[in-house]
Structure 1
Amino acid sequence: MTDSDDALLALYDERMRGAPPEPLPGAVLEQDGPVVRTVGQFRGFVFTPRDMGVRGAALDRLVARQRDRFAERGESVEWRAHRHDEPPELPERLRAAGFVPGESRTVLLGQASEMVTEPVLPEGVVVRRVTGEHDMRRIAAMESEIWGSDLGWLAGMLTERTAAAPDDTVVLTAETGGRIVCAAWMLLSGEAGHAGLRGGTTVPEWRGRGLYRSLVAVRARMAAERGVRYLQVEATGDSRPVLTRLGFRAVTTMTPYVWTPPGS
């Protein structure tokens, strides 16, 4: 039976958009009214329900408290706002408080069992599951080169998450000649019945050759074998067409609003 779009959106709101139940080592979850913030990572995060239940001046104060909490720590913070969130004036309030919107991403859901296909890799490319810090640093270096910014924090995040939850964190590389040409990871939440697919960045000269699709297929098979029903992706404009062709369905969009301490 196929889930309706409304059912998938309700599932996403209920199970997938909140703060992680178990934060990374060194990170702390703090509840502030309707929101939960994560502190102690490379960047803070603010997670909200679909409707925060506050409006007007009360919403302004809530937003300001999150900004001021991270200002005290000298850290940047990302507030993840969705197209269907209430109240609709939230983006305006975030911008007024100094949060800057980033690139919006499409939230897509799909059933893992329907995404299991045989990966078709170019000749000479092998897929590896990696767990060590050395490989995580190689992934971060590849990502940094492609995106033109220092993403060294990614190595620490992947290393810590893999060490803390080795069964629920899957990091894959596609390599040829000792070079990483694509990397992707999956964060499983077996009890909740879903897994988040992340990454998938491919070096420019290897794009369009099936690497992204192959890593989706490998992760889908691993998730299905674990009894995970749903896969969730926050897709850029480049990956959304690939995912929709595979059968993923768009349920909403998410825009990251980032506040950065002055002088950072």
Structure 2
Amino acid sequence: MTDDIARLLQAYDDQLRRDAEVVGALSFTKDGPLVRGVFGWGGFTTYRSLGGVDDLDELIERTIAHYRDETEVARFEWKTRGHDQPADLGQRLVAQGFQAEELETVMVGPVEHLVQDVELPPGVRIRQAGVAGDFTDDVTRANHLQNAGFGGGDATAVETIDRLERSRGNATMWLAEDGDEVISAGRLEIVPGTDFAGLWGGVTHAARRGQGIYRALTAARAAHAQQAGVKFMQSDCSPMSQPILERSGLTAVTTTTPYIWTRV
């Protein structure tokens, strides 16, 4: 690992792990190193480090019991990172009924690397939801594209609107349109008290990929973040979006795998 990657990973671990990940939660509780959040779409468990945990399997059991007996969520995610210890955490989670989802790459880099001029196809425009349009309608249409792109998705439009409104401007939805059709969309989430903003939910209609639209959508979100004083951008990337962010100057610092527990 180079010094630059190590520096970016350290900033990611120090500023974006644990409490920062439940800023938008409806509620959260803590149990040792864990933070357990409840969102409109379900539960979310995260941590900064599991070092010092005497009985990890028992902590996993307590977490399942917490969501099963003390919440009404249908499912919750335990978010793991590739550089964390113990290395067999994923196996322990699977042994207690979790299902692993697709591995993603965590990308981090200076915000200015993403701020660039990108030529758009004729007729395509990019804007923030609610700017030169109706906020509810914009978010609803963008949310529909995101859920279709992610195989159904978790959040309803109502839940997404509620989360954006409760963020007090830290979370915003952005969309690319061709006429009245939303062809690309993604959220920007500035993390209060940190140097970071995250790129989330980025998706482009399959028929419009390869035209620079997603890169332009990313640049617009980054420019907004830079104006707000953000220094670093972060994104959990699918194999499709990773090359775009790499070409823009972000660096892979680790991987992340969600493990999902579902109520039966």
Query: Same fold, TM exceeding 0.5?
Result: yes
2:104 and 2:238 in contact (8 A); partners too = yes
2:113 and 2:250 in contact (8 A); partners too = no
- Structure 1 Cα separation of the partners of residues 127 and 228 of structure 2: 19
3-state SS in 2 of match to 1:19: helix
1:138 to 123, 136, 141: 141
Per-residue CA deviation, residues 182-225 of structure 1 (Å, 9 max, x unaligned), is: 00111012531110011220011000101110011111111111
- Structure 1 Cα separation of the partners of residues 217 and 34 of structure 2: 34
What residue identity is the alignment partner of 1:203? Answer: H
3-state SS in 2 of match to 1:103: coil
What residue identity is the alignment partner of 1:14? Answer: D
What residue identity is the alignment partner of 1:16? Answer: L
Residue of structure 2 equivalent to 1:15: 15
Residue of structure 2 equivalent to 1:70: 67
1:185 and 1:198 in contact (8 A); partners too = yes
Per-residue CA deviation, residues 118-145 of structure 1 (Å, 9 max, x unaligned), is: 1321110111211422222212222233
Residue of structure 2 equivalent to 1:84: 83
Structure 1: state its 5+ residue gaps: none
3-state SS in 2 of match to 1:122: coil
Per-residue CA deviation, residues 154-178 of structure 1 (Å, 9 max, x unaligned), is: 4234312221224212211100120
- Structure 1 Cα separation of the partners of residues 109 and 211 of structure 2: 22
- Structure 2 Cα separation of the partners of residues 220 and 97 of structure 1: 40
- Structure 2 Cα separation of the partners of residues 3 and 209 of structure 1: 35
- Structure 2 Cα separation of the partners of residues 17 and 204 of structure 1: 33
Residue of structure 2 equivalent to 1:111: 110
Question: Structure 1's 190 and 245: CA in aligned 2 closer, same or farther, altered over 3 A?
Answer: same
2:27 and 2:39 in contact (8 A); partners too = yes
2:252 to 250, 253, 258: 250
- Structure 2 Cα separation of the partners of residues 40 and 224 of structure 1: 28
Matched, 1:34 2:33: yes
- Structure 1 Cα separation of the partners of residues 39 and 107 of structure 2: 29
- Structure 1 Cα separation of the partners of residues 10 and 121 of structure 2: 39
Q: C-alpha displacement at 1:35, in angstroms?
A: 0.3
Question: Structure 1's 146 and 220: CA in aligned 2 closer, same or farther, altered over 3 A?
Answer: closer
Matched, 1:95 2:98: no
- Structure 2 Cα separation of the partners of residues 62 and 166 of structure 1: 34
3-state SS in 2 of match to 1:123: coil
What residue identity is the alignment partner of 1:109? Answer: V
3-state SS in 2 of match to 1:153: coil
What is the TM-score with the length of structure 2 in the denominator? 0.91
Q: C-alpha displacement at 1:21, in angstroms?
A: 7.1
Question: Structure 1's 40 and 206: CA in aligned 2 closer, same or farther, altered over 3 A?
Answer: closer
- Structure 2 Cα separation of the partners of residues 246 and 218 of structure 1: 13
- Structure 2 Cα separation of the partners of residues 125 and 68 of structure 1: 49
1:141 and 1:152 in contact (8 A); partners too = no
1:259 to 254, 258, 261: 261
What residue identity is the alignment partner of 1:59? Answer: L
Matches within 5 A, 1:72-221: 72=69, 73-75=71-73, 76-131=75-130, 132-149=135-152, 151=153, 153-221=155-223
Q: Percent identity?
A: 33
- Structure 2 Cα separation of the partners of residues 93 and 184 of structure 1: 33
